Amino acid sequence: MIPETVILYLFVAASLLAVVANRLRIPYTVALVLGGLILGTLHLFPTPVLTHDLLFSIFLPGLVFESAYHLSASALWRDRLAIFGLAVPGVLTSIVVTAFVFLWTSRYLPDLAAVTMPLGVALVFGATVAATDPISVVAIFRELQAPQRLTFLVESESLLNDGTAIVFFTLFLAIAMGKPVTASALAVKFLAVVGGGVLIGAIVGWLSSEVIKRVNDGMVEITFTILAAYGSFLVAMQLGYSGVISTVVAGLICGNYGAKRGMAPSVRLAVNTFWEYIGFALNSLVFLLVGLTIRLPDLLRIWPLVIAAYVAITIARGAVIYSMGALLSRSHARMPWSWNFVLIWGGIRGALSMVLVLSLPQHFPFREMLINLVFGVVLLTILIQGLSISPVARALGVLSRRHLPADFEMQRMRLTLAQMGVREIDRLRQEGVLDPQALNALATHYSQESEDAKDRLSKLDIADEDRFRTEFSRLYRRLLTMQKQRLLDARQESLIGHENFERLTADIDAGLLEVETNIDGVIERLLLPDQVAMEKKLP
């Protein structure tokens, strides 16, 4: 366990590095890793080690639950083909391709030319680096207003492939240790571990949500989300199932069912704030520990192998992403081809890969070399891809080079909130219960707020094309979401049959995906008939 004083030093370092990263405009996680490397070199205080027990007992449940809690279950289901394809067959393919590419490239390196690495060991290496850590990438995308669907794909894919990568790591480790395992037994074991995790997570998440619905105490409700996060993880692990998958399911249920059905708005805000801070604190500590655990001299001694391993995982992820993109190209879940390379470059590896390789048995063949290889791969992905993901995405046109002024979103929300206040006051005035003088005073206040926001919006220097594109995208997305909700209500009221419900839901989901991936095409398709009609009327 980390001593209390060291935790204090780490939080001080994380706070200072956050300021430095903001000033230098570099990703926060990259700054944390670099800061950890410097602190580890200077030996200013006892250096803690990122251990398996530390990550699995403290960091991983909280980080996984925080991400899952804020994920939309409907969006996850809407993009299920891409997400589950990348998280299950995609992870397995990545492991196999990584292993074979590394074995092929290592034959030409002097360090491995005289020895032959068994395929089982190479598969274990592939499993350790299969899980991606999108924290810095997601933070960059949110800051630069990347397409919501792309940000969601990066986050949700990583959340699920953490669990599947751990399961495959365990299975391939058994093979490498000489245990007889057939392909059918491997498939059955995988389904059992994942299925058990899903079941445990569903039970714990549902029970926690039911308790939350029946209490009206913010502190108690926060406590039960903590119990859901760590309880689902520990119970699943004790029973031999996937703790990560269990926590993902528990987080999805608590966030999409417990919070929406059982929490008052003020409590929901408090719970969201609590878990956002937990995510920030745990991420800060874990990336600092990543930097503190890496030993640069050990990596420099085998740098050709590290480069070969990095090339192998990049080729493997590229093969998976482009194959999945090709398979989805004819479905409603298709993605723009420019997104594929961004998804490849966003496949940053993190603490989970390091902890998995550290958990290898002491007598495991090539253990020390694998540890250095994984540490080197993690460092290269964080530094190379973490620092370049923003310019790469801009160059591919994924991140718009033109941004609306930051004040635009603020004033639009001020206008929306003020108009909502005016409408609520009008409703209360019709009821005739409250004091008319108080209502008039508040109506005047909100009307003035609305006018101020309109005035500031009118003074912003925004091109008409940019304003129209933004407004059209938000309005169309809002209308499609309202249609989907009405469709769900109609299904619950038995006003529509199952087949027609599924068909209309698929149409709306396809529209939502198109808004996220090809808004210019939507605008052109919807406006073209009107333009043709106008041209026909002209003399």
Query: Hey, what are 408's tokens?
Result: 């635009």
Alpha-carbon Rg of the chain, whole angstroms?
26
Give the span between the Cα atoms of 43 and 300, in whole angstroms. 20
Give the span between the Cα atoms of 131 and 164, in whole angstroms. 8
Q: Quick one: which of 208, 226, 91 has its CA closest to 160? A: 91
Give the span between the Cα atoms of 282 and 261, in whole angstroms. 28
Q: Do residues 228 and 254 make contact, with C-beta atoms less than 8 angstroms apart?
A: yes
Please tell us whether the domain made up of 4-396 is placed in CATH 1.20.1530.20: yes
What is the model's pLDDT at position 222?
Answer: 93
What is the model's pLDDT at position 405?
Answer: 59
What is the model's pLDDT at position 478?
Answer: 82
Instruction: Output the CA–CA distances (angstroms, integers) from residue 20 to 12, 143, 404, 518, in the order listed.
Output: 13, 17, 26, 36
- For the CA atoms of 307, 82, 341, 380, what is the dihedral angle to 10 degrees? -30
Q: Quick one: which of 139, 151, 14 has its CA closest to 71? A: 151
Place of tokens 């007889």: 180
Say which DSSP state 348 is in.
-
Instruction: Output the CA–CA distances (angstroms, integers) from residue 405 to 223, 349, 418, 456, in the order listed.
Output: 40, 33, 21, 12
* Amino acid letter, 202: A
What is the model's pLDDT at position 110?
Answer: 63
Query: Hey, what are 264's tokens?
Result: 């008052």
pTM to 2 decimal places = 0.78
* Amino acid letter, 332: H
Query: Hey, what are 471's tokens?
Result: 């407004």
Domain boundaries, the chain: 4-396, 405-461, 467-529
Q: Do residues 56 and 355 make contact, with C-beta atoms less than 8 angstroms apart?
A: yes
Local confidence pLDDT in tens for the 539 residues of the chain: 456 788 888 888 888 888 888 888 788 888 888 888 888 888 777 777 777 788 888 888 998 898 889 888 888 888 888 888 888 888 989 999 999 888 887 777 665 554 577 888 889 999 999 888 766 667 667 666 677 788 888 888 888 888 888 888 888 888 888 887 777 877 888 889 999 999 999 999 999 999 998 888 889 999 999 999 999 999 999 998 989 899 999 999 999 998 888 888 888 888 988 998 888 888 888 888 888 888 888 888 888 888 888 999 999 999 989 988 888 877 777 778 888 888 888 888 888 888 888 888 888 888 888 888 888 898 899 889 888 888 888 888 776 655 555 677 777 788 888 888 888 888 888 887 778 888 888 888 888 888 888 888 777 777 677 777 777 877 888 888 888 888 888 887 888 888 888 888 878 877 777 777 667 777 777 775 554 444 444 44
- For the CA atoms of 31, 32, 37, 42, what is the dihedral angle to 10 degrees? 100
Give the span between the Cα atoms of 86 and 157, in whole angstroms. 7
